[in-house]
Structure 1
Amino acid sequence: MHRLASAMLALAWLAPAAAAAAEDPSPTLKKIAETGVISLGYREAEPPFSYKTPDGKITGFSMELCDRVVEAVRKHLKLDTLKVDYVPATSATRFILVKSGKIDVECAATTNNAERRKIVGFSYPHFATATQYVTRKADNIAKVEDLAGRSVAAASGTVNIEQLNALNREKRLNIGVMPTKGGNEAFDLVADGRASAFVWDGILLAALIAQAPDPSVFTLSTDTLSPPEPYGLLVRHGDEEFRSVVNAALKAVFTSPEIDSLYKTWFMSPIPPDGMNLNLPMSPALKAAFAEPKDYLE
């Protein structure tokens, strides 16, 4: 009888606590509702996903998807208006900014993997790419093994530099890894002959090559350092209510004709400011991912 009473007393204390926890609002939605502001993280130079044009406009494929997210959040919170605060983020600062709440959604090209899911949340995937490298054609670098003993650049805080270090150890290539603050700096090292290669996401390298004064100078590797991995929008870890609002907004776009129009705009057409055109058709795998959006958990 004493044990039964103790158990019932414990349940009596736990039940209100559990109910309160269940009713706790999303910290992100709570902050947005109270301030009337949503903070979006963007990149200064990561076309076609997220970048700032010379006239100061912040744009890109990921930014347009985030525009749809902003409207979905406004409707969810029943707000008349919702102000957007744009916060610059880099490969090195993006996770800190999301974890600290200074960014509500990071709208760029961030790879989703198991290690990162321990510290941030990811939306449904909105693109997928493998890690490749760019070299100068004149250097005749045909395969990964040709990088042995050379200097290779990679941006700090990316999965690419981790993959480069792992490959270097595994194959004992004696590569001199050159960490940089961002992609443009690393690409310049290759263009100037100070690095033999730059390791990054294939799609982002293709964009940098297309923007170069003479794209024919460079070669994008056919070798890859990873299988294709998905990009996702970043949100705060554990805030499932907010993540569900983000995912619902993306699903509405992905499963409608709008996604074909958006993709054509950013990957099959000239984009600002200089008319770069990647001419990259949507892959069957990406089409399938858009048709049935789901969390990437590998």
Structure 2
Amino acid sequence: MLLSCGAQAQVQNLTGTLKKVKDANQIVLGVREASFPFSYSDNSGNTIGYSQDIAMRIVDEVKKELNLPHLDVKLVQITSQNRIPLMQNGTIDLECGSTTNTFAREKQVGFSDSIFLYGIRMVSKKSSHINDFADLAGKTVASTAGTSDEKLLRTMNEEKKMNMQVISPKEHYEAFQDVASDRAVAFVMDEPLLYGERAKAKHPDDYVITGKPPVSENYACMLRKDDAPFKHLVDGVISKMQTSGEAEKLYTKWFTQPTPPNGVNMNYPLSAEMKALFAHPNDKALD
């Protein structure tokens, strides 16, 4: 099928990620192995989750924009530590997982409109009687390597002279296991990820999520810095999902109902802050 003159001009004038995708007939998504329920692998090795569903809606829009109905979608597993370098060096084109939009990171990569708002808290065993961050003084505490939470925890430890021993495993589930095995007294992380790890535990009621959040943060999809055309497309998809009610239905699917592959239900109701975000989409960092 022949493209119209306008469509031909549009394709010829592509820049940044859209040009890269068009030239390669391939878009590369950075995905997580175990960031439940945002981006994680099921029992068959497929990547699923709340953020992954958003990523695939963006892919659908890219296919329409570039007239590439058979666009190849390649998935590359990433970690909290390597996700920014892999975006900067061109390995991945888009990452929708559990990446926090911070002012510091905005100097390195680009971010879409926010897809999730949350506070930083901690999970511990009920028997530990940990109620707030001050109770962590002198104790061993886990936080996933390469995250804004790990940075916050180490800064808190230094500035408040709390004498914590901070350990930093690579994945969230490893940090939770540190608590389960009593290697650490608490796991400090984004609240929804804590709910996810607790929901997967053999005895979820043995654990409690506590602590007054020292900061509120937001997840967004990560893209290349200063790539206005691609950001415009991505933001357009997210904004439409949020204002149309589609995002709220997606939230219900992943946070208040049984999820694959094991039927885990996080029982994590939609917050007033999330409702406000869906009504007024924006890309503001909160730190």
- Give the alignment's TM-score, normalised by structure 1: 0.89
Instruction: Note if contact 1:164-1:225 (Cα within 8 Å) is conserved in structure 2.
Output: no
Shift of 1:289: 1.1
Are 1:47 and 2:36 counterparts? yes
Query: Given that residues 36 and 82 in structure 1 are in contact (C-alpha distance below 8 angstroms), is that contact kept between their aligned partners in structure 2?
Result: yes
Measure how far apart 1:43 and its partner are: 0.6
Change (3 A) 1:63 1:91: same
SS of the residue corresponding to residue 90 of structure 2 reads: coil
What's the Cα RMSD here? 1.4
Q: CA deviation at 1:50?
A: 0.5
Match of 1:295 among 280, 283, 286: 283
State whether residues 217 and 285 of structure 2, in contact with CA within 8 Å, keep that contact through their aligned partners in structure 1: no
What is the TM-score with the length of structure 2 in the denominator? 0.92
Q: Secondary structure at the match of 1:278?
A: coil
Q: Partner letter of residue 273 of structure 1?
A: P
In the TM superposition, what whole-angstrom CA distance separates every residue of 1:72-116 from its partner, at most 9, and x where no partner exists? 111111223211101101100110111111111101011111001
Task: State the match for 1:91 in structure 2.
Answer: 80
Structure 1 residue 109 corresponds to structure 2 residue 98: yes
Tell me which residue corresponds to 1:270: 258
Question: How does 1:1-298 map onto structure 2 within 5 Å?
Answer: 25-226=14-215, 228-298=216-286
Amino acid of the residue matched to residue 99 of structure 2? T
Deviations 1:154-174 (A, max 9, x none): 111101111111111222110
Contact 1:48/1:60 (8 A) holds in 2? yes
**Secondary structure of the residue that 1:198 maps to in structure 2?**
strand
Contact 1:126/1:231, CA 8 A, preserved across alignment? yes
Structure 1 gaps of 5+ residues are 1-22
> Aligned residue pairs: how many?
275
C-alpha offsets along residues 210-241 of structure 1, whole Å, 9 cap, x if unaligned? 10000111111132232x21110000111111
Question: Cα deviation per residue 1:165-194 (whole Å; 9 max; x = unaligned)?
Answer: 111122211001112111111111111011
Counterpart of 2:207, as a letter, is: F
Question: What SS is found at the alignment partner of 1:232?
Answer: strand
Alpha-carbon separation, structure 2, partners of 1:152 and 1:97: 28
**In 2, Cα distance between equivalents of 1:115 and 1:245:** 24
Tell me, in whole angstroms, the C-alpha distance in 1 between the residues paired with 2:52 and 2:127.
36
Secondary structure, aligned partner of 1:271: coil
Deviation of the 1:26 alpha carbon: 2.2
Contact 2:133–2:211 (8 Å) recurs in 1: no
Residue segments in structure 2 that go unaligned for 5+ positions in a row: 1-11
Amino acid at match of 2:111: F
